[in-house]
Structure 1
Amino acid sequence: MSYVKPADLAQSMIEAGQSKVLMSTRDTLIRGYMGGAILTLGAAFAVTVSTQTGEPLLGAILFPVGFILLYLMGFELLTGFFTLTPLALIDKRPGVNFAGIMRSWGLVFVGNFAGAFTVAVAMAIYFTYGFTSEPSAVGVALSEIGHGRTVGYAEHGAGGMLTLFTRGVLCNWMVSTGVIAAMMAKDVVSKALVMWMPVMLFFYMGFEHSVVNMFLFPTGLLLGADFTISDYLIWNEIPTVLGNIVGGITFVGLTIYATHARTAPKRVALTRPNGKRFAAHHTRIPAGLLEEHTH
């Protein structure tokens, strides 16, 4: 199994962030559309399996199929942009500024939502025979997810909002770990394996992913679920996006950047005249040993 060292990984992350910011409008929209569509087809598959088998773990095991496919085909997700593009700004890469990052986030959001909504409409038709019958068992399950993860949070007030935000943070911690883990591998099998593990975890734990939710909640609304568009935006999508931003930047992007792209100087190994060995920060070497160390 091929392996890219963390220091090289950090540079790849910075370069990937710069590339995303500089991507053309057309390509960002197309790649965002396909990324949203393929990921949410995977979500529809996972919910179908979970509902028909009664085994949520099996659905979680299979959900990463969509994520792996879209990544290997070079399509884009908003959550990955949250993690990688700020690194290019912090590293002062040419052509990267705050406005450029906001532009790229906005474009991939539109692309992801369009792709996810396309799948939502297709699945609503699929589960109701073109809206001529009541939703199938899977359609009912999707409606219940939308209700539980909007109104269900609202019932807990501030505590529900905090829980929603926290689940968004935890989600992109795992999803972006999958994105950057794929950069550590060079062959297809290895990439698929390292992406599969954290993405399975996020789905089974019920964390909140802004792009997956672009499919789940519109599908529920199309199938007559008991919540509104404002419920979806206020009690799910907006807090989820904010949580995804914090999770991706804080726990994945900045941690790797800080310790592997901007590695602090190592402590210096020294020996006292009495033979005792110790280590000291490079700026705190005792005066009596400084000359010896420089030689």
Structure 2
Amino acid sequence: MFSPAEMAKIAEDGAVYKATKHQLYSFISAILAGGFIGLAFVFYTTTQTGSADMPWGMAKLVGGTVFSLGVILCVVFGAELFTSSTLTAVAKATHRITWLQMFKNWFIVYGGNFIGGLSVVVLIWLSGQIMAANGQWGLTILKTAQHKIHHTWMEAFTLGILCNMMVCLAVWMANAGKSLTDKAFIMIMPIALFVSSGFEHCVANMFMIPMGMMIAHFASLEFWTAINIDPAQFADLDLYHFIVKNLIPVTFGNIVGGVFFIGLVQWFLYIRKH
């Protein structure tokens, strides 16, 4: 098992690699990561549909556990996820990369993640998955997406901090794994914690809220008849609420959580020259 200092060194070297590799590779890798996280939320939604009879906490635990597949896939396949890319701040703190390299990486990865998430939205829409369980699958998406846009700005920001603390801890701890099983297993609990607790992840929301918007504004009469709900109840699922009420504060919260609460703390403890 690696020591904390050795894990920090591995994380630092990984951050340098991320920030200096070819931009096209970063972009394609980021699209892949956005897709993985979108598919993980599909998995989550399936487990939550029809779970009303389960104890609330147990249902959330199941959902959080299966969602961890998305982050596991990102780590195993080297896909670039914006939230964990905030750890490139460690490489900047050691002066191994420039401000431009760090922010360019963030911008490219964020855009690629967005495209990946929206690609899954399109695929799920075309597949007719929203009609699963007589439309209840789509209703789960609607309720989850609507809940996300009604946090206060401070709530969304703070939930973003808490979320990326867990994501970055999961990725950081995976550095200690010497096998695929080690890496996968060690990431499950931190990811399950953030998902089951309702913390906010900007890349996950790049799938979930646009998926809710698609259903709210473009679902067929057959869908609304199946769930017996007036679509006007979800009229607030729009671009303004998505961007201003959720994505912006959550993104800033994710940055603070990854950079300051995890990355720079570990840099101070184990990497900084004393």
TM-score category, normalised to shorter length: 0.7 to 0.9
- Counterpart residue type for residue 258 of structure 1: F
Aligned to 1:88: 91
Aligned to 1:53: 51
Contact 1:168–1:208 (8 Å) recurs in 2: yes
Contact 1:127–1:136 (8 Å) recurs in 2: no
**1:254-269 pair list within 5 angstroms:** 254-262=264-272, 264=274
Q: Distance in 1 between matches of 2:127 and 2:270?
A: 48
- Counterpart residue type for residue 142 of structure 1: I
Deviation at 1:172, TM superposition (A): 0.1
Q: Distance in 2 between matches of 1:61 and 1:216?
A: 17
**1:1-295 pair list within 5 angstroms:** 3-54=1-52, 55-82=59-86, 84-93=87-96, 96-127=97-128, 136-150=135-149, 152-153=150-151, 160-224=152-216, 225-226=234-235, 227-262=237-272, 264=274
Deviation at 1:145, TM superposition (A): 1.6
- Corresponding residue SS for 1:53: coil
Deviation at 1:8, TM superposition (A): 1.0
- Counterpart residue type for residue 148 of structure 1: H
Contact 1:168–1:207 (8 Å) recurs in 2: yes
Q: How has the CA–CA distance of structure 1 residues 135 and 37 changed in structure 2, closer, same or farther, with 3 Å as cutoff?
A: farther
Question: Where in structure 2 are there 5+ consecutive unaligned residues?
Answer: 53-58, 217-233
**Percent of aligned pairs with the same amino acid:** 30
Deviation at 1:69, TM superposition (A): 1.7
Question: Where in structure 1 are there 5+ consecutive unaligned residues?
Answer: 154-159, 265-295
Q: Distance in 2 between matches of 1:236 and 1:205?
A: 17
- Counterpart residue type for residue 114 of structure 1: I
Deviation at 1:135, TM superposition (A): 7.9
Residues 7-48 of structure 1: per-residue CA shift (max 9 Å, x gap): 111111111111111011110111101111012101111111
Contact 2:174–2:184 (8 Å) recurs in 1: yes
User: TM-score, normalized by length of structure 2?
Assistant: 0.87
Aligned pair count?
250
Deviation at 1:146, TM superposition (A): 1.6
Contact 1:127–1:139 (8 Å) recurs in 2: no
User: TM-score, normalized by length of structure 1?
Assistant: 0.81
Residues 53-86 of structure 1: per-residue CA shift (max 9 Å, x gap): 332321112111121122101111000111x211
- Counterpart residue type for residue 8 of structure 1: E
Contact 1:135–1:223 (8 Å) recurs in 2: no
Contact 2:121–2:210 (8 Å) recurs in 1: yes
Contact 2:47–2:63 (8 Å) recurs in 1: yes
Q: Which has the larger radius of gyration?
A: 1
**Alignment root-mean-square deviation, CA:** 1.8
Q: Which has the higher contact order (CA 8 A, sep 6+)?
A: 2
Q: Distance in 2 between matches of 1:192 and 1:7?
A: 21
